Amino acid sequence: MGALNMTLLSVVVPLAPGEESWRALSADLALLPDGAEVLFVGSEDPSSRQESTGPSAKMGTWLFSSGSRAGVMNAGADAAKGEFLWFLHADSKFGPDAVSALYRAVRSHPESLHYFNLAFFGADARLTRLMRMNEWGARVRSWALKVPFGDQGFCISKSLFKKVGGFPEGMAYGEDRAFVMRARGRGIKVRSTGATLYTSDRKYKNNGWLKTTLLHQYRWIKLAWPSR
């Protein structure tokens, strides 16, 4: 892993009400070096989850925070002890290569906002072909426009996170994109780790590929070019 002491890493996992995907994520979080901090933050009383078993029950800290998703993530960042914050969705998956790539990226460019290339898991053969288009679009948007989305696993130093002002609260959606734009406005470079982070395609399955894709694009365009 190099000389970087990644006990300085805090992983913040926001949880929606009733979210259970964190159970599968626990196996991947076990790949982190000893001392890395994991914070599960949700709007439900964490005492209701204490019956959980597995790596997360041993290595994760449960926090309660009411309010928006942005507020939940900001609460996790405030409580984090690490020098670097990695915001990770509960339905994400990653391997050892992603962990190594993140450490190299942070060591090489500690003053940047880092993200991962996006790929989806869980699709059947028909949906997989469609999801490849979304993966390609995410790479072009992130590389060319420097606007990755939250499911691409943002990592930033805690000091820079505070400088940016955290995730903007009070937004119905798009707090991740707004955070990126804030960071860029502060002169913070947006960089890919070069590794891939996998996210569930469940929204596309549940709501339909075309409807979900068009909704994401509409919201992204609306935030990027708001009406005057």
At 123, list the tokens.
């699709």
Look up residue 83 and give its DSSP letter: S
Asked if residue 4 has pLDDT above 80, the reply is no
Contact 9, 36 (CB under 8 A): yes
Q: pLDDT digit string (tens) for 167-208?
A: 999 888 889 999 999 999 999 999 999 999 999 888 888 888
CATH number where 75 lies = 3.90.550.10
Task: Tell me what pLDDT residue 49 has.
Answer: 57
Structural domain includes residue 65: yes
Q: pLDDT digit string (tens) for 102-143?
A: 999 999 999 999 999 999 987 666 778 888 898 998 999 999
Q: Which of 166, 169, 43, 28 is nearest to 97 (CA)?
A: 28
Most confident of the ranges 53-57, 60-64, 90-94: 90-94
Structural domain includes residue 167: yes
CA distance 142 to 164: 19
Task: Count how many domains the chain has.
Answer: 1
CA distance 74 to 166: 6
Structural domain includes residue 225: no
Task: Tell me what pLDDT residue 180 has.
Answer: 96
Structural domain includes residue 175: yes
CA distance 209 to 176: 21
pLDDT band for position 5 (50/70/90)?
low
Look up residue 63 and give its DSSP letter: E
Structural domain includes residue 224: no
Q: What is the mean pLDDT of the chain?
A: 85
Residue with the bigger pLDDT between 174 and 75: it is 75
Structural domain includes residue 218: no
Q: Which domain holds residue 118?
A: 6-201
Task: Tell me what pLDDT residue 123 has.
Answer: 62
Structural domain includes residue 81: yes
